[in-house]
Amino acid sequence: MRIEVGPGPVMIIGGPYSNLRATDAARDLSEHLGIAPANVICTGDVVAYCAEPEETARAIADWGCHVIQGNCEQQLAAGADDCACNFEEGSACDLLAKGWYPYAASRVSSEMRAWMGALPTTLGFRLAGLDFRVVHGGTDAISLWVFASERGIVAEECRLAETDVVIAGHCGLPFIARSGNATWFNAGIIGMPANDGTSDVWYGLVTPDDHGVVLSTHRLAYDHHGAAAAMRRSGHANGYARTLVTGLWPSVDILPPRERAETGTRLRRRTLRVTASAKAEASP
């Protein structure tokens, strides 16, 4: 599906994860930055770990931003029994999903399931002479984990995408990676910290300039104590409630060795300029 975006910055948000407070903070920020809903893109997984799935889905729908399906939207719309997150069977992540997914499924209305089912699985747009493609996990596989350290996977996914910049979500960690003439841009997620020992969540900006665009990742502080308290009241995922405060994931099963070793290490903001001639300049 092709969309039109305005000339100003495009805001990228991933994984609202049923975190209504973080979603509201992201919307407030977009308004403060003067970014219209037509220039906001959500990479999916609107509903997941946190306490307010129905409310968060409605907040995203009411925002009027562009949204693609994550695996959670696909599964909830289909009435499936699990999230299809691609967790290894029997892993800690898989066991934790057996707590939060039934909770979410029991609280999402038929109206919002229909909204989820009607969302596109990918988006494309053009900005500053560059072509962009928005996916959830991988280019073709919605639940594929793509991490910065796995250069071979990044290269293959960029090749499959056949575009200048791929905007992705799912993995939960913000990063920007080059592969040949293509760039993989994961803005992180707003519903859960990035396992770096801080309570901040992450979003991204695509900012046009005279040479092309600047891709950048940014921290977002919000009422994480309130979000954690709401989860504790529901009691469905206390491990993730602690994560909202500590910034540390309850399990690192899905992470490759490098990302696992970086648990608790504060992440830095990243920027990368991408020109229409496919040359890029990374910040140190």
Percent of the chain scoring above 90 in pLDDT: 82
Rounded average pLDDT over 215-243: 94
Rounded to the nearest 10 degrees, what angle do helices 53-63 and 92-107 cross at? Answer: 70
Q: Is the dihedral of CA 204, 125, 207, 148 positive or negative?
A: positive
Domains of the chain: 10-282 (3.60.21.10)
Could you tell me the maximum CA-CA distance found in the chain, to the nearest angstrom?
52
Model pLDDT for residues 19-50, shown as the tens digit of each residue: 999 999 999 999 999 999 999 999 999 999 99
Give CA 154 to chain center in angstroms: 17
- What does the alpha-carbon distance between residue 118 and residue 173 come to, in Å, rounded to a whole number? 27
**Bridge-partner residues for 271, per DSSP?**
216
The stretch 52-77 carries a mean pLDDT of: 96
Q: How far apart are CA 35 and CA 33, in angstroms?
A: 6
Is the pLDDT confidence value at 284 over 80? no
Which residues have a Cβ under 8 Å from the Cβ of 101 and sit 6 or more positions away? 75, 82, 83
Query: Using one digit for the tens of pLDDT, what is the confidence trace for 157-194?
Result: 999 999 999 999 999 999 999 999 999 999 999 999 99
Query: Can you give the pTM of this predicted structure?
Result: 0.93
Write out pLDDT tens, residues 242-266: 999 999 999 898 899 999 999 999 9
Q: What is the pLDDT of residue 95?
A: 65
